[in-house]
A and B are shown apart, each in its own frame.
Chain A
Amino acid sequence: MKNQIWQIRKMESTISTSLLIRGGRVIDPANNLDKVADVLVVDGKIAAVKPNINFEAHYEYNAAGKLVTPGLIDMHVHLREPGQEAKEDFLSGSKAAVAGGFTTVATMPNTSPTVDNAALVRAMVKRAEEVGIVNIKIIGAVTKGRHGQELAEMRDMIDAGAVAFSDDGSFDDNAKIFLNALDYLHDTGKVIICHEEETSLVKDGVMNEGKRSALLGLKGRPTVAEDIAVARDVLLAEYTGGRVHVAHISSARAVEIVRDAKKRGVKVTAEVTPQHLTMTDEFVNPADTSTKINPPLRTQKDCDAMLAGLLDGTIDAIVTDHSPHAPEEKDREYIYAPSGFPGLETSVGVLFTELYHKGKIDLKTLISKMTAEPAKIFGLDAGTLSIDAPADITIIDPELEWTVDAKNFYTKGTHSPFIGRELKGRVIATIVHGNLMKLNQW
């Protein structure tokens, strides 16, 4: 039934189709564009972006008062295929992406089995094409089984279509293996996305180590674990000339380390999540596992540093780290519940409510961190409304007020700390390769 909620206009290659998006405020950071204009899509490609386009399109969409942006890119999601379909699959994850305005997502390899070889990458690429709702990019593992012992066959995986590599979920403690991975990938230009928490310091930890963990008795995951990991990886990137991308950065000190490294010309980039930008460990309630994430929610000082890093360019991208779990997995004791919650459907709402409407960030910067910047890190032909670019477009109503309700989620994940939150700003239409998927549930 949920399939009927949006209308998918399947484009058939033999028939020329066109779509004209009228009168929206077009924000395309890659082209330094922010003005009211029409966007014309012909045969799945951007044909024109200018005011008052005179064209008889097959379909017109009135976007007056709305924002028209390049399709949002989330370079860090967990769509859980293969093997963990009780948590999420490519279909449910794609629907969640559409609902959240994401036209391209990159899914992590910490699955069962681990996506650590070309056969699996090829199978996942094929599966993504079959589902065909949004662009799903495949991230391969750096080491076999993500065990941090032996390099995975990354060059085979590149040939099979992997866009980047990551052992996300764990930090690669073995510095020599990680150094080898950077050297091995050096000439390919591919980036390694690093989960930055030194393992021994976060063992058994379930929340930020701070005043709140001290009172609750929950075991801590200290910021210094992240700082050490980021420092090591930045130094190895500098030493090898390799590319490191810091996943879900959350510690103020780690942001400083990345900032300094960028000044020295180290090839390091970083991403941050809406939750690490806007929530602190004060939200942690040991009777509710929805706040259990890795790295954990930190302090206000850290949130402030995330925002500063985003604004000064230290942090390049905003990602959701969409990590759904089956309801029964999250509905249990805090120390036993798995980490993570689904974020695709709440990202835009949270960012608009907590950052844009509070005057903390301008739209161009915000959209850039979700379009042009992640496209650049992965080298994707996406994230822009340039002529002839794939017509991946997101339409946002910045003023639409709504309340987050798990009943309306397309993801299979049910636990999110944003549930019940009143938000302002919502995606109302998502266009992938010219296919308009209008969200008409409200």
Chain B
Amino acid sequence: MEKNSVSISGKSVVGMKDFSSDEIRLVLNTARKFKQVIRGGEKKLPNLRGKAIVNLFYEPSTRTRTSFELAGKYLGADVVSITSGTSSIVKGESLRDTLRTIEAMGVDAIVMRHKSEGAADFATKAVKPIIINAGDGAHAHPSQALLDLFTIEQAKGRLAGLKVVIVGDILHSRVARSDVYAMTKMGMEVHFAGFKTMLPRFFEFDGVTVHESLEEAIENADVINVLRIQLERQQAGLFPSTREYARVFGINEERLRLAKDDVLILHPGPQNKGLEISSEVTYCANSAIHDQVQNGVAIRMALLDLTLNGGTKK
């Protein structure tokens, strides 16, 4: 049954915490439509013609920024990207003033990535345009969680009841914190696995189990989401060497045998091959890592269209 009453028109996307399962469903269904558009020949839709979107990135990013930029362009919006190295941010302008400056230029949405947790929420209170959080510190990365769901559903045909294991540096991961809300809302069973040095202490969440043993966690898993291990974590003393990390916690073919035969492999990228994931796993038949990139564009098209345009066709 179609739920016509669900709408996220005008809604800022700060975190999956603020999304109902119906709203998530709406985004996923809309993304399915846009994926066909991306795969088709003509990728210039009129949906957001006359809308202006600014990508405001305070942290380096290739895939997320390009993904949002193309998503906006495919929908006919005018998109400008600002990165912190090339803007008045380096001249010491405050976040509030930068946001207000962009607002004054008449933009409709600001896609924002920032090092500080809470920055996107701060932005929603500072200015009127719709704010799409493209990552705020270790707090949230909602479009990544949505594209993870989308990729899983495309591969498995369903979400509810699946066992997902998120592996690696949970402590510093905005992906893990967004997946937790999105996946549990869609009825999935979530497991975290990592060295205790990279697990948030005192983590408590309904429907989430935390493991210090990878083997214990991935038994019978339907999905494994492998997080990126940043090399500076080793320097910070969270693990002794990349070699030992790969040996004990790297996802390789041997470990995959503990999971279900049709286990789906995800990775938000960019990957450290041979560290958190082996090349064989990245390129194996069960890997959807490459699909995630295209699905990311479809999800971001859906988010922009639904929030800016209410999802209605012009």
Name the A residues within 8 Å of B118 (CB-CB).
216, 218, 285-288, 333-334
Name the B residues within 8 Å of A211 (CB-CB).
202-204
Q: Is the CB of B201 within 8 A of A214?
A: yes
Q: Is the CB of B96 within 8 A of A214?
A: no
B128 to chain A, nearest CB (A): 16
A12 adjacent to chain B (CB < 8 Å): no
Q: Is the CB of A332 within 8 A of B94?
A: yes
Docked Cα-Cα span, A215 to B202, in Å, equals 9
Query: Considering the complex, which residues of chain A in the window 257-303 have a beta carbon less than 8 Å from any beta carbon of chain B?
Result: 285-288
Q: Is the CB of A217 within 8 A of B116?
A: no
Q: Which of the listed residues A210, A287, A328, A332 has the most CB atoms from chain B within 10 Å of its own CB?
A: A287
Q: Is the CB of A334 within 8 A of B96?
A: no
14 sampled A-B residue pairs with Cβ under 8 A: A211-B202, A211-B203, A213-B202, A216-B139, A217-B137, A217-B138, A217-B139, A217-B172, A218-B137, A285-B121, A286-B118, A335-B115, A335-B116, A335-B117
Closest-by-CB residue of B relative to A217 is: B138
Q: Is the CB of B203 within 8 A of A328?
A: no
Docked Cα-Cα span, A334 to B95, in Å, equals 11
A209 adjacent to chain B (CB < 8 Å): yes
**A-B contact number at CB 8 A:** 74
Q: Is the CB of A336 within 8 A of B116?
A: yes
Q: How many residues of A contact B (CB 8 A)?
A: 23
A434 adjacent to chain B (CB < 8 Å): no
Q: Is the CB of A217 within 8 A of B174?
A: yes
Query: Considering the complex, which residues of chain A in the window 184-242 have a beta carbon less than 8 Å from any beta carbon of chain B?
Result: 209-211, 213-220, 222
A328 to chain B, nearest CB (A): 7
Name the B residues within 8 Å of A216 (CB-CB).
117-118, 139
Q: Lowest 6 A-B CB distances belong to which pairs?
A: A286-B118, A217-B138, A333-B116, A214-B200, A287-B121, A217-B139
A354 adjacent to chain B (CB < 8 Å): no
Q: Is the CB of B200 within 8 A of A333?
A: no
Q: Is the CB of A214 within 8 A of B203?
A: yes
**Beyond A209-B201, A214-B200, 7 extra complex contacts between A and B, CB < 8 Å:** A218-B138, A220-B201, A287-B125, A328-B94, A333-B118, A334-B116, A334-B119
Docked Cα-Cα span, A328 to B204, in Å, equals 35
A399 adjacent to chain B (CB < 8 Å): no
Docked Cα-Cα span, A332 to B98, in Å, equals 12
Docked Cα-Cα span, A429 to B125, in Å, equals 38
B114 adjacent to chain A (CB < 8 Å): yes
Name the B residues within 8 Å of A288 (CB-CB).
118
Closest-by-CB residue of A relative to B114 is: A333
Closest-by-CB residue of B relative to A220 is: B201
Docked Cα-Cα span, A334 to B117, in Å, equals 7
Query: Considering the complex, which residues of chain B in the window 229-253 have a beta carbon less than 8 Å from any beta carbon of chain A?
Result: none
Docked Cα-Cα span, A364 to B203, in Å, equals 41
Interface residues as binary, A301-328 with B (CB distance below 8 Å gives 1, 0 otherwise): 0000000000000000000000000001
A173 adjacent to chain B (CB < 8 Å): no
Closest-by-CB residue of A relative to B17 is: A215
Q: Is the CB of A287 within 8 A of B122?
A: yes
Closest-by-CB residue of B relative to A200 is: B237
B177 adjacent to chain A (CB < 8 Å): yes
Q: Is the CB of B115 within 8 A of A215?
A: no
A331 adjacent to chain B (CB < 8 Å): yes
Query: Considering the complex, which residues of chain B in the window 121-180 have a beta carbon less than 8 Å from any beta carbon of chain A?
Result: 121-122, 124-125, 136-140, 172-174, 177
Docked Cα-Cα span, A286 to B205, in Å, equals 19
Query: Considering the complex, which residues of chain B in the window 176-226 have a beta carbon less than 8 Å from any beta carbon of chain A?
Result: 177, 200-205
Q: Which of the listed residues A211, A213, A216, A333 has the most CB atoms from chain B within 10 Å of its own CB?
A: A333
Docked Cα-Cα span, A211 to B200, in Å, equals 9
Name the A residues within 8 Å of B116 (CB-CB).
286, 333-336
Name the A residues within 8 Å of B173 (CB-CB).
217
A337 to chain B, nearest CB (A): 9
Name the A residues within 8 Å of B122 (CB-CB).
286-287, 333-334
Closest-by-CB residue of A relative to B123 is: A287
Closest-by-CB residue of A relative to B173 is: A217
Docked Cα-Cα span, A213 to B119, in Å, equals 16
Also in contact, A333 and B95, with CB within 8 A (given A211-B203, A218-B139): yes
Q: Is the CB of A286 within 8 A of B121?
A: yes
B109 to chain A, nearest CB (A): 18
Docked Cα-Cα span, A333 to B84, in Å, equals 15
A359 to chain B, nearest CB (A): 31
Of A210, A219, A334, the residue contacting B202 (CB under 8 A) is: A210
Name the B residues within 8 Å of A334 (CB-CB).
116-119, 122
Q: Is the CB of B203 within 8 A of A286?
A: no
Q: Is the CB of A209 within 8 A of B202?
A: yes
A430 to chain B, nearest CB (A): 36
Closest-by-CB residue of A relative to B96 is: A331
A299 to chain B, nearest CB (A): 10
Name the B residues within 8 Å of A219 (CB-CB).
138
Of B117, B201, B203, B204, the residue contacting A218 (CB under 8 A) is: B117
Docked Cα-Cα span, A220 to B136, in Å, equals 16
Closest-by-CB residue of B relative to A286 is: B118
Name the B residues within 8 Å of A285 (CB-CB).
118, 121
Docked Cα-Cα span, A27 to B50, in Å, equals 70
Of A213, A328, A332, the residue contacting B200 (CB under 8 A) is: A213
Of A210, A215, A220, A332, the residue contacting B96 (CB under 8 A) is: A332
Name the A residues within 8 Å of B138 (CB-CB).
217-219
Q: Is the CB of A331 within 8 A of B94?
A: yes
